[in-house]
Amino acid sequence: MTRSGNIDQNISRPGKFGLFGNSPNEFVLAVSLVALVTGASLPLETLIGYRAVALVYLLLVVMVGMTLRRGPVLLVAASSALAWNFFFIPTRFSLHIKGIEDLMMFGMFFVVAIAMGHLTSQLRSSELAERRRQQRSAALYELVQQAGLAPDLDGGLRAAITLTENLFGVRGALLLRHPDLTLAKHPHPASSFSLSEKEYGVAAWAFNHRMPAGKFTDNRPESEAAHLPLQVGSEALGVLSIFPSADMILGPAEIELLQTFAMLIGTILERDHLLQGVKQAEILNASERLQRALLQSVSHELKTPLSAVQVGIDALTKEIGKGGRSQTTLHEIQQALRRLNRVINNLLDMTRIESGVIHPKLDWCDVGDVIEAAKDLTADVMGSRKLEIALDRGLPMVRTDQALLEQCVSNLLLNAASNSGIRTVVKITARVVNDQLVVTVRDEGKGIAESELPHIFEAFYRGTEARPGGTGLGLAIVDGFIRALGGSVTVANSRATGVEFVITLPVETLRPDVLEKLA
């Protein structure tokens, strides 16, 4: 059982006195009280005088003003003045006032009665408004305590439904949103009623339009139940449906409080979604860290035996000598080892990039030497393809990380070789423009589909027409290294055939004539 019964015993059910209730016919009560006071004052008039009776009527106005609403209070004030005039002021049993003093007193009584009735009614309205605020705050506090601070979502939703039913005297149901953003067909298990097909249609309308619908609202008021969206910001996380009794009437204050309840329930759902998202992100982060650590560990462990195999093959090559099938076999094994070494190095480089531990070591280097070194590293893969190198005249020395730049150029050459036919041309150009080193690698392959260009630098991404083999890490490593150096790399299909990669790096330059002077 919830503690909502402690909020206010008089408001726990609609249709009674209190915050959410409708009072009886207060106008009939007002007329009855005036008649009662008039009847009691008639025998007293001979003892206290007719002017003192006016004070009795004023007392009635004050008393009524503390209990009834403004309309009945004003009716009491007006009818008291008229009753005092008709029954007590000479000439009796007529509205005619003979003496000027009695006329002035009647006028003052009427004004004072109206004013006192108005003031006391205002005081009562303020007191009722304060009670409403306190009771509303107590109800919302109860909802936060029982539902918002529940240890699990299911318990919180059960507490919210129970509190709504106890406070408003209705039956409640919760329809939650599915992961695909559609409204559930079946209510939460804690709900006390199921929706008919018609009522579900109204609930779906409220969910889709983010507006209250059904009974006591302006939308689909012919429905038997009221449906309030569990709205948080611009999205709805479900619907709170309430089914009142046939003779129950919910006023604007009740509907407003129900909407606040729905908003708080939506906030509870959003909080749970955020917590689930945080937990999922933590799990994914831990999984990625474990994957990187495992990958790096395996890659390092493979380096040692591969080095031993390479040494053994080099020794066998010297013993066998040139020529023969054995030498051909050893050459194929050496090429396979180089490919395997490149794969392992790529995996290690990728883990360095994802871990953010790349710290460029800047030094002066010759761009021509960098390209030649990359050419040597990829000579076995380039095969019969012709490599054209075009460097600007007077190309200055640049200050950058030679190892990273060399790796990037070699990866682009490997990509060009794997995506172009034999006896084609791969062209490398290098120039410095406005303190930026621009290196271009262009092949004569089939090019890349326009839909694949935005994904070409993603890790493990391979084009639909890529040749078998490879890990899809080469271009991702180029992008990561170049970004670590503060530059960028772009790709585009060339006008004729093939693909063009452009590396742009901000660099410090050292012209050859300055270098000769320094030497």
| Greater pLDDT, 297 or 208 | 208
Paired with 508 in beta bridges are 399
- Do 372 and 501 belong together in one domain? yes
Confidence of residue 437 (pLDDT cuts 50, 70, 90): very high
Check residue 348 and give its pLDDT. 67
Indicate which CATH number applies to the domain containing 207. Answer: 3.30.450.40
Identify the pLDDT of residue 418.
Answer: 85
The more confidently predicted of residues 505 and 303 is 505
Backbone angles phi, psi at 444, to 5 degrees: -120, 40
Determine the angle formed by the axes of helices 252-320 and 100-143, rounding to 10 degrees.
20
The answer, yes or no, to whether residue 502 has pLDDT greater than 90, is yes
Structural domain count, the chain: 4
Which residue reads 């995506």 in tokens? 419
Percent of the chain beyond pLDDT 70? 77
Same domain, residue pair 77 and 179: no
Average pLDDT of 241-264? 80
Give the integer Cα–Cα distance in Å for 391 and 437. 11
Evaluate if pTM is beyond 0.85: no
Residue 314 has pLDDT above 50, yes or no: yes
Region 158-169 average pLDDT: 80
Residue 240 falls within a domain, yes or no? Answer: yes
Does 142 share its domain with 162? Answer: no
CATH code for the domain in which residue 341 is found:
1.10.287.130
442 touches 425 (CB < 8 A): no
Q: 346 vs 167, which has greater pLDDT?
A: 167
**Residue 301 resides in a domain:** yes
Q: Does any domain span residue 324?
A: yes
| 8 Å CB contact between 438 and 400 | no
For the chain, percent helix, then strand, then coil, each to nearest 5? 55, 15, 30
Dihedral angle, C-alpha 226, 232, 236, 238, nearest 10 ° = -60
Q: Do 68 and 181 fall within a single domain?
A: no
pLDDT of 27 strictly over 70: yes
- Three-state SS at 489: strand
Same domain, 399 and 458: yes
DSSP 360: -
Domain of residue 474 covers 363-518
In a domain, 489, yes or no: yes
- Rounded to whole angstroms, what are the CA distances from 495 to 140, 425, 444? 68, 15, 11
Domain boundary pick from 272, 296, 331: 272
> Do 211 and 310 belong together in one domain?
no
pLDDT in tens, 322-358: 655 666 677 677 767 766 766 666 666 676 676 666 7
| Co-location of 412 and 327 in the same domain | no
Answer with the one of 235, 254, 272 that is the final residue of a domain. Answer: 272
Report the pLDDT value the prediction gives residue 22, as an integer from 0 to 100: 37
Claim to verify: residue 341 and residue 369 sit in the same structural domain: no
- 344 and 211 within one domain: no
The CATH number for 438's domain is: 3.30.565.10
Report how far residue 491's alpha carbon sits from residue 487's, in angstroms, rounded to the nearest whole number: 14
pLDDT digits (tens, 9 = 90+) for 366-404: 999 999 988 988 888 888 889 999 998 888 999 999 988
**In the predicted model, what is the mean pLDDT of the chain?**
79
At 195, is the secondary structure helix, strand, or coil?
A: coil
pLDDT of residue 466 exceeding 70: no
Is the residue at 495 inside a domain?
yes
CA distance 506 to 513: 21
pLDDT for res 357 = 65
Q: Which two tokens stand for residue 381?
A: 């893969």
Boundary (domain end) residue, out of 272, 305, 326: 272
Domain assignment present for 139: yes
On whether residue 93 sits in a domain, the answer given is yes
Residue 277 is assigned to a structural domain of this protein: no
Residue 370 and residue 324 in one domain: no
* CA 112 vs CA 109, 116, 495: distances in Å: 5, 6, 97
Is it the case that residue 129 has pLDDT exceeding 80? no
* pLDDT score at 490: 94
Hey, what amino acid is at 256? E
Domain check: are 134 and 182 in the same one?
Answer: no
438 plus 408 within the same structural domain = yes
Q: How many C-beta neighbours within 10 Å does residue 95 have?
A: 10
